[in-house]
Amino acid sequence: MGFRRRARGGRAKMALTMTRRQIAIVALIVIAVSTFSAIVAYRSGARRPGIRGGDALAASGGKSGCADIKDAGSHTGETGCVQGRIVRVFASRAGNTFLDFCTDYRNCPFTSVIFSSDRSKFGDLSALAGHRVELSGSITTYDGRAELVIHDPSQLRVLP
C-alpha cells in the first residue's frame, strides 16, 4: 500500500493504491474476523448462565426431575431429561424420525429426533403417539428451538 502523487491540471493529488495481494489479505482478514465473530455469537447463545447438568433440571420441578418441553429451552447446553406427551411420530424421506410434542411442530418450543443411522436400534416408534415420555441426553438448539437427539433406546422412557 502506498501513496502516489498525481499531477493533473496543475494540482497535485495524493492517491492511495493497493496491490491485488494487499486486497486479498484484507479480504481474508475480514472473512476471518466475521467467522470468528459468528462462532462466538453462536456459542454464547447456546450456553446460558446458571446451574449446569442434571441438578438444574431437577431444580426445575416435576416429580421426575425432568424439564417440561416448554422449559427445555432454558436448559440448552445441559445434559438432563425433558418430558412431554408425543402428539405425532413422523418419519422423513431421509429416514430420520421426529417425535412431535405439538400439533404444529413449527411452533413448538421443543423437538426430538432419531437419525436414520440409529433408527434400527428402536422398535415400533409409531406406538409412542399419545404417550407421555421422558427423554434424556444433551439438550441443544436447532433452528431456534430446544432439541434432544436420541441415539439409543435407553434415552427414551415411556411414562405410565
Condensed to tens digits (0 to 9), the pLDDT of residues 18-37 reads 788 888 898 899 888 888 77
Is the pLDDT at 86 greater than 80, yes or no? yes
CB 101, CB 86: distance < 8 Å: yes
Among 82, 100, 59, CA closest to 137: 82
Give the three cell numbers for residue 117.
443411522
Q: Which residues pair with 17 in a beta bridge?
A: 2
pTM reported for the whole predicted model: 0.59
Cβ(139)–Cβ(79) under 8 Å?
A: yes
Arithmetic mean of pLDDT, 71-100: 92
Q: Which residues pair with 140 in a beta bridge?
A: 147
The overall average pLDDT reported for the chain is: 80
Higher-confidence residue of 62 and 24: namely 24
CB 121 within 8 A of CB 76: no
Residues in the chain, overall count: 160
- Identify the pLDDT of residue 105: 86
- Name the pLDDT band for 134 (thresholds 50, 70, 90): very high
